[in-house]
Amino acid sequence: MKYDTIKELLQYASKAENKTFKEVIEEAKGYDYNIDEISYKKGFFGHVVEECLFDYSPNSRSEPDFPELGVELKVTPIRRNKNGTISAKERLVLNIINYVEELTKTFETSSFSKKNKNLLIMFYLYSESMKKEDFPIVKSHFNNFKDIDGEIIRRDWEIIHKMIEDGRAHELSESLTLYLGACTKGANHLNLVSQPNSNIDAMQRAYCLKQSYMTTIARQVISNENLQRIIDSKTKMPQGFEQLVMKKLTVYYGKTQDNLSKEFSIDSKAKSLNDLLVARMLGVTGKVSRTIEFQKANIVPKSIRLEINNTIREDMSFKNFNPKEIVEHDWIDSELRDYFESTRFLISLFRKNNQGDYVFIKAFFWSLPISVLDGKVKDTWQETKRILINGVIIDNWNGKSRNNLPGKTFNHVCHVRPKAALSMRYPGDSNSFLLPNGEWMTKQCFWLDKKYVRTILDLTV
User: What CA–CA distance (Å, rounded) separates 225 from 306?
Assistant: 37
Q: What is the pLDDT of residue 70?
A: 95
pLDDT tens track for 302-311:
999 999 999 9
Backbone angles phi, psi at 225, to 5 degrees: -70, 135
Domain boundaries along the sequence of the chain = 6-222, 242-458
Region 153-177: mean pLDDT is 97
| Residue 88 confidence (pLDDT) | 98
Superfamily of domain 242-458: DNA mismatch repair MutH/Restriction endonuclease, type II (3.40.600.10)
What pLDDT does 421 receive? Answer: 61
Report the amino acid identity of residue 174: E
DSSP E strand boundaries for 188-233: 192-193, 202-203, 205-209
User: Given this model, what pLDDT does residue 459 score?
Assistant: 56
* Angle ∠(132,133,138) on CA atoms, nearest 5: 90
Confirm whether 6-222 and 242-458 share one CATH topology: yes
Q: How high is the pLDDT of residue 439?
A: 81
Lowest pLDDT segment from 117-126, 225-234, 241-250: 225-234
Q: What is the pLDDT of residue 306?
A: 94
Is the pLDDT assigned to residue 383 strictly greater than 70?
Answer: yes
pLDDT at 424 over 60: no
Mean of pLDDT over the chain: 91
> Which one-letter DSSP state was computed for residue 315?
P
Q: Which pLDDT value is given to residue 232? A: 80
User: Average pLDDT in the 39-67 region?
Assistant: 85
Cα separations (Å) of 88 from 27, 249, 420, 452? 27, 31, 30, 33
Tell me the pLDDT band of 442, cut-offs 50, 70 and 90. Answer: confident
Confidence tier at 3 by pLDDT (50, 70, 90): confident
Give the dihedral of Cα atoms 58, 64, 65, 71; nearest 10 deg: 150
Superfamily (CATH H level) for 6-222:
DNA mismatch repair MutH/Restriction endonuclease, type II (3.40.600.10)
| Residues 345-369, mean pLDDT to the nearest whole number | 96
CA within 13 Å, CB half, 226: 0
Tens digit of each residue's pLDDT (9 = 90 or more) over 244-272: 999 999 999 999 999 999 999 999 888 88
Q: What is the mean pLDDT of residues 393-405?
A: 79
End-to-end CA distance of the chain: 61
